[in-house]
């Protein structure tokens, strides 16, 4: 009888890539992105201009970096709803730290470097906290990170006393290049995203750690019985997520120079949406960073096209994004778990 169930579990026998359906499945998000860009170029002349593209990429970089972390968490079968609130918290406490530290370090690059290190520590610590609660405390990831989402948001609102926490004007020039700067003509946020995405893809697909992440998401019991350090790997995915949020926040802070209680609102949903649109299985077991990046760009370009053309109200942006998420999941519905 086992022989029978085997076949039902194995309908998707071939690894993707051989058949036409396989190719579509593998490259689906990419095809969707190309279609979207074709539509955009038909509807607006300025769409394919370097300025517009750079603008979309730069704005997408922040969600993109967070979504790289989310790809790790989701591939391992987890979920992190707290990323938006965490970035508000990291932004707030980092600005407070920099305003204070400016007295000793001065308004130069040392201060910026210290700020970056500080935010990375806060992000990693928050991720570690989430991970330990979920893994050691054996509480559902949804519950822990939903709680953390409320806590982080509430703490930053309290710290800002309901208003905003602003970076001192004297420090803004030093931090400015992180968002507005260019290297070899490419905006810094885009470069940072590219580096993080490439490293992420290599780690997830080519390294032992990534293999373990996918194995745990695929079947945690099998992973445990296969000598994989399940707890350590699961906790680390949340730490990676925290670090990614910190990096994204470091890029975000110079853009507005302030953190408010509404900073990062709904970012968790955008990041998760990007991961899913990119073809990572929401139930875990299979993830791909390049897909996530394509997912982020799809979301970015939808909003961009609506803004450029005025043909459809930009207020309907959310409706388009929502529809695309549902379609993406419908398309991957029949796929086996990995």
User: Which residues lie near another protein (CB under 8 A)?
Assistant: 1-10, 12-15, 206-209, 211-212, 214-215, 218-219, 221-222, 224-229, 285-286, 336-338
Which lies closer to another protein via its Cβ, residue 61 or residue 216?
216
- Closest distance between another protein and the C-beta of residue 16, in Å? 10
Residue 21 CB, shortest distance to another protein, in Å, is 15
Which pair of tokens denotes residue 58?
Answer: 């730069």
By beta-carbon proximity to another protein, the closer residue of 153 and 212 is: 212
Which residue, 3 or 51, is less far from another protein as judged by CB? Answer: 3
To which residue do tokens 């968002």 refer?
179
Q: Which is nearer to another protein, 16 or 177 (CB)?
A: 16
Least distance (Å) from another protein to the CB of residue 136? 15
Q: Return the DSSP state at 263.
A: T
Which is nearer to another protein, 5 or 313 (by Cβ)? 5
CB of 332 to another protein, least distance (A): 13
In this complex, which beta carbon is closest to another protein, that of residue 14 or of residue 50?
14
| 165 vs 167: CA distance, rounded Å | 7
- The Cα–Cα gap between 103 and 101 comes to 5
Task: Locate 23 and state its tokens.
Answer: 């190719």
Residue 226 Cβ vs another protein, minimum distance, rounded to whole Å: 4
Q: Decide: 131 and 236 in contact? Cβ < 8 Å.
A: yes
Query: 90 with 249: CB under 8 angstroms?
Result: yes
Task: Yes or no: say if 178 and 119 are a contact pair by the CB < 8 Å rule.
Answer: no
Count other Cβ atoms within 10 Å, centred on residue 90: 31
The candidate with the shortest Cα–Cα distance to 81, out of 17, 19, 127, 16, is 127
Distance CA 63, CA 61 (A): 6
Tell me how far, at minimum, the Cβ of 17 lies from another protein, in Å. Answer: 9
CA dist list (Å): 124 to 13, 134, 151, 184: 39, 15, 16, 31
């Amino acid at each position: 009888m086992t022989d029978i169930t085997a076949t039902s579990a194995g309908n998707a026998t071939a690894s993707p890539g051989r058949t036409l359906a396989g190719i579509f499945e593998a490259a689906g998000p990419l095809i969707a992105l190309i279609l979207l860009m074709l539509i955009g170029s038909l509807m607006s002349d300025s769409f394919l201009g370097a300025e517009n593209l750079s603008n979309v990429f730069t704005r997408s970089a922040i969600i993109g970096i967070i979504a790289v972390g989310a790809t790790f968490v989701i591939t391992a079968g987890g979920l992190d709803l707290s990323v938006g609130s965490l970035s508000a918290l990291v932004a707030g406490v980092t600005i407070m730290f920099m305003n204070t530290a400016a007295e000793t370090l001065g308004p130069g690059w040392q201060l910026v470097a210290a700020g970056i290190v500080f935010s990375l520590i806060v992000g990693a610590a928050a991720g570690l906290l989430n991970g330990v609660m979920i893994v050691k405390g054996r509480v559902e990831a949804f519950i822990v990170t939903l709680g953390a989402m409320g806590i982080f948001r509430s703490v930053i609102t309290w710290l800002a006393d309901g208003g905003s926490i602003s970076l001192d004007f004297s420090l803004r020039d030093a931090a400015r290049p992180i968002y507005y700067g260019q290297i070899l003509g490419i905006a810094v946020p885009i470069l940072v995203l590219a580096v993080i995405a490439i490293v992420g893809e290599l780690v997830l697909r080519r390294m032992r750690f990534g293999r373990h992440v996918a194995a745990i998401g695929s079947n945690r019991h099998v992973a445990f019985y296969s000598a994989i350090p399940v707890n350590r790997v699961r906790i680390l995915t949340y730490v990676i997520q925290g670090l990614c949020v910190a990096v994204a926040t470091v890029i975000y802070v110079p853009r507005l120079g302030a953190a408010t209680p509404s900073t990062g609102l709904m970012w968790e949903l955008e990041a998760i949406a990007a991961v899913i649109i990119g073809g990572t299985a929401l139930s875990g077991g299979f993830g791909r960073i390049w897909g996530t990046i394509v997912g982020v760009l799809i979301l970015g370009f939808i909003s961009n096209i609506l803004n450029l053309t005025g043909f459809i109200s930009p207020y309907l942006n959310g409706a388009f994004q929502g529809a695309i998420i549902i379609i993406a999941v419908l398309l991957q519905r029949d796929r086996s778990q990995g």
